[in-house]
Amino acid sequence: MKPKVLKKGDKVAIISPASPTTKEKVEKARLAVEKIGLTPIVYPSCLSNHGHLSGTDNIRAKDINDAFENKEISGIICLKGGYGTPRLLNLIDYEIIKKNPKYFIGYSDITGLHIALNKMCNLVTYHGPMAAAGWINHLDDYTLEYLEKSLYSKESLGIIENPEGEKIETLYSGTCEGEIVGGNLSLLVTTLGSPYEIDTKDKIIFIEEVTEHNYKIDRMLMSLDLAGKFSDCSGIILGTFSKCEPDTKADNFKDLDLMTVFNEIIGKYKKPTVYNFRAGHNYPQPTFPFGVKVKLNADDATIEFLEPSNI
């Protein structure tokens, strides 16, 4: 299911499904959404907190269900990431969402919701900057261009170019086509063995991560490997692995570098694979949809979105 394209003035819900933030940042996020031409409606989770969570599970899940059910709301923008979305997956009313497909955007911990909405509702969702983690301070020309294309255009994104000075690189050559799925590595692993486990069969999987030592990246990629996610996918796009660095062990032994980890775990499958696609915990970053058909040409290191993401 594809959401309806947004237009200037549409009402959008700002929800906080993961970690909390300050009232000051919520207000700045509201103003940032207004500045881009939308009418923000701040939901209760944005102004709540429950320890490291932005409100209790019931408050945060209710905001998701209410925002999808409310006929006056045209889109849903996540406030920020952090942690908390896996706690909500059994509390979401997926039947409501199936009846009310809407624009939904976020990244990082929001991956938990992307996976569930993609799998349980077949809904196209968007990986991109969040209201208090991007829209406030990071709407550079590149980030804004891709955000507005995804918000307001019915055209397919076509080939996504990296920001100037950054190059998408080839890990293993070849070409493939398939639906793009994925997100943050930690969340992809968290849902393994659950009803929300990511389906990578004949699909192109996108993976990014932040502030994890290389051995932990290795461990999480191995979890996906053991679950068959690399053997049954069509291709792999590795995004940014921001601040992911080697750890020094006892006796001064050091982690493998990330390229060695990628080659040993992913490269062995000889699937078309690229790395340094500048999407993840970094700016500038593109906004792009999950759940649409993509052509990955690892020979030319290009990623082409073949169909519109909305109606």
Residue 27 parent element (H or E): helix 23-35
Cα distances (Å, whole numbers) of residue 149 to 53, 167, 286: 32, 22, 10
Planar angle of CA 181, 186, 187, nearest 5 degrees: 55
Q: Are 87 and 53 in contact (CB under 8 A)?
A: yes
Q: Residue 208: which of 127, 272, 309, 304 has the closest Cα?
A: 127
CA-wise closest residue to 37 among 144, 169, 191, 112: 144
Cα separation, 30 vs 40, whole angstroms: 6
Contact indicator for 232, 202 with CB cutoff of 8 Å: yes
Q: Which two tokens stand for residue 160?
A: 């996504």
Q: Which of 98, 103, 101 is nearest to 76 (CA)?
A: 103
Q: Where residue 251 falls among pLDDT bands split at 50, 70, 90?
A: confident
Asked whether 41 and 14 are in contact (CB, 8 A), the reply is yes
Residue type, 186: S
CB atoms within 10 A of CB 197: 16
Average pLDDT of span 107-136: 96
Q: Which residue has the tokens 């699909």?
A: 203
Q: In this structure, what DSSP letter does residue 72 have?
A: T
What pLDDT was estimated at residue 119? 96
Active site residues per annotation: 108, 208, 281
pLDDT tens figures, 193-232: 999 999 999 999 999 999 999 999 999 999 999 999 999 9
Please report the domains of the chain, with CATH numbers, ordered by start residue: 11-139 (3.40.50.10740), 158-305 (3.50.30.60)
**Rounded average pLDDT over 109-125:** 98
Chain segment 31-40, per-residue pLDDT in tens: 999 999 999 9
Whether the per-residue pLDDT at 248 is higher than 90: the answer is: no
Nearest one of 269, 214, 279 to 247, comparing CA atoms? 214
Res 252 pLDDT > 90: no
Q: Which residues neighbour 113 within 8 Å (Cβ) at sequence distance 6 or greater?
A: 17, 64, 78, 85, 88, 89, 92, 104, 106, 125
- Cβ contact 13:73 at 8 Å: yes
